[in-house]
Chains A and B, each alone.
Chain A
Amino acid sequence: MSEMIDQQDLAAQFGEKPEKPEKPWQATARMFYTNKAAVFGLIGFLIVILLGLFGPIIFGADPFDIAGKPLMEPQDANPLGTDYLGRDILSGVIYGARPTMIIAITATVCATVIGISIGAIAGFYGGKIDNFLMRFTEFFQVLPSLVFAMVIVAVFEPSFLIVVLAIGTTTWTPLARLARAEFLKIKEREFVLAARALGAQNIRLILRVILPNALPPLIIAITLRVGTTIIFEAALSFLGLTDPSIMTWGRMIGLSRDYFFEAWWTVTFPGLAILFTALFIALIGDGLNDAFNPKLRRR
């Protein structure tokens, strides 16, 4: 296959090399910032975070307050309309950012901790431990995650902690598989063998030697996982399986389910909030992917 090279390879082979060597992370950051879509996603995501942090302070209005007549169309007083109790949709969307993001991020952290621990141990130790942990992972893959999470929340009580744990325990499997694959690959590399030969402890090898090198694909997966979790939580909330004192975007849609034929705005705007937030995250994830693997761009 000496000369059947496609354009990207040719460009990579013949392309100008950077003047001075950059550190890998600098090169990644540069790649990321030159990607317009990724920067757009990052800015959008930061706006959502700022909205979650400061929105309630700036806009003031309480989303649980009755702000007008029920099911009012969007107009001056309620730019996005009102819901079936006459609560303002706009303040609901603004206030919803914080709980939505908090649940999404904590649940992702939960899934990440479980997934990476299991995947890292399986990949690092191999053999029987790997075999057992992978069977364990496959067992969790057999259970449809949403059905499983619904049952967990229903069996216990729909509180913040239970919802986070339910999402975490039902969605960690892809991260475990990815972490395992990376660990399997990296543990055979020279620098790991060298560290091992120098007598490094297993814990040190896992956390300080292999994990940092396995980070790029994991970071991409975790980023995308945040978006998936927002949608997963929204589905649980939509079905009413969430802490009743927390008003996430998903719950706003779920509560308006019986009224949306009369009042499209009650579900459309919270849904758009979810869609855009997840979209920003997807753009960041894609940007990171391109930045970490410049050769695979556009695939």
Chain B
Amino acid sequence: MATALFQRIIYGMVLILAVIVLNFLLIQAAPGDVVDVLVTEAGGGDPEIAAQIRASYGLDQPVYVQLAKYLGNMLTGDLGYSYYRDESVLELLLSHLPSTLILTLSALLFAIFIGTMLGIYAATRPQGVTNHMVTIFSLLGYATPVFWMGMMLMLVFSLYIPIFPSFGFRSIPAPETMLPRILDILHHLVLPTFTLSILFLAGYSRLSRASMLDVLGADYIRTARSKGLSEFVVIFKHALKNASLPVVTIAGLQLGQIFSGAVIVETLFSLPGIGPLLYDSITNHDYPVMMGVLFGTAVTVVVANILTDLVYRLLDPRIRGIS
């Protein structure tokens, strides 16, 4: 198991290297460079000064030297500098990631939990209404744009029935003591989390229903019943652990998608996460931040994939045994 994990980590590092190279290529492909932006920002167009700045950044050197330098910088944690924000990209990322992680994790857990419950409920009552509901629900989940869903929820729960805030991460001014502070943040997170999770929830409910139906027909479920176990134990012990395997796999594969969704939801709800950071960097042609966000999200997905792999190994002894 340890060697498998080690291999996984090495492979993850290779992926991250590849992302760095891609970043570099994208910057190279971009019409104009940082200096053009800088010079334009400064309001001047003096080609001599521009050339000087280029030389000082090493932009006049051959591409492979630049790539080597870029790789070196990235690997030592120097993700570049935001001229627009006057802050290092690494710091910007680190200050914006936590909010995004809280949002994605809570949305993911909520979606998996409720989705699985719905799926189980539908799978154990094949003739029931829930079955149709899961089908309809998953169709709507597929067909609804996440930002539009967010807007509709805002209209209903912030405007017409104002019970949840539609803007920001905390109240201004924020409560002073610890507990109300946390509750305040949670209160702000309700709508964004719900918006982000509901679409994935629809998918998970369908997936876990299918996987549950599959597992419930398995021979070992018949064995469990023949021991005289109650339906509750049969479903929540014997079936669930097996049925959760495909759900974990898909959740792992969908992490990138959840990040994409989070970018939109954060932008919509003005949360201080990666989404607005990326959005602002795009409007302001702040390439280092743009590339930093692409890099940061890719690294997070790589790490999360390794964690998913670990969870899968914990759940399935058949994989665990092979090392």
Within 8 Å of chain A (Cβ to Cβ): is B278? yes
B129 at the interface (CB under 8 A from A): no
Who on chain B is nearest to A147 by CB?
A: B297
Name A151's contact: one of B26, B126, B148, B219 (CB within 8 Å).
B26
**Cβ contact within 8 Å between B19 and A143:** yes
User: Does A6 sit at the interface, judged by CB under 8 A?
Assistant: yes
| A223 CB, nearest partner CB in chain B, Å | 12
What is the CA–CA distance of A235 and B222 in the complex, to the nearest angstrom? Answer: 47
* B30: A residues at CB distance < 8 A: 155-156
Q: For A240, give the chain B residue with the smallest CB separation.
A: B283
Across-interface contacts of B145 in A (CB, < 8 A): 231, 234-235, 238, 250, 253, 271, 274-275
Cβ < 8 Å to A, chain B residues 200-238: 210, 213-214, 217, 219, 222
Residues of A263-299 contacting chain B, CB below 8 A: 264, 267-268, 271, 274-279, 281-283, 286, 298-299
Quick one: which of B144, B256, B267 contacts A142, CB cutoff 8 A? B256
Asked whether B67 is an interface residue with its Cβ less than 8 Å from the other chain, the reply is: no
Q: List 28 A-B contacts (CB under 8 A).
A: A6-B217, A138-B15, A142-B15, A142-B302, A142-B305, A143-B294, A144-B259, A144-B298, A146-B263, A147-B293, A151-B278, A151-B294, A152-B26, A154-B282, A155-B27, A155-B29, A155-B30, A157-B31, A224-B142, A257-B151, A267-B151, A268-B152, A274-B145, A275-B140, A276-B143, A277-B143, A298-B131, A299-B214
Closest to B222 in A: A4
Q: Is A28 an interface residue (CB 8 A)?
A: no
Known contacts: A141-B256, A268-B152. The answer to whether A147 contacts B294 by CB under 8 A is yes
Minimal beta-carbon separation of B246 from chain A (angstroms): 13
Of residues 15 to 38 in B, which have CB atoms within 8 Å of A's CB atoms?
A: 15, 18-19, 22, 26-27, 29-31
A82 in contact (CB, < 8 A): no
A228 to chain B, nearest CB (A): 8
Interface residues on A, range: 35 or more
In the complex, whether B155 has a CB less than 8 A from a CB of chain A is yes
Q: Is A261 an interface residue (CB 8 A)?
A: yes
Closest to B210 in A: A299
Q: Please, what's the 1-or-0 string for A139-180, where 1 marks a CB less than 8 Å from any CB in chain B?
A: 101111111101110111100000000000000000000000
In the docked arrangement, what's the CA distance between A299 and B27, Å?
Answer: 46
* B15 CB contacts on chain A under 8 angstroms: 138-139, 142
The CB with the most chain B CB atoms within 10 A, among A1, A145, A271, is that of A271
Asked if residues A238 and B305 are in contact (CB atoms below 8 Å), the reply is: no
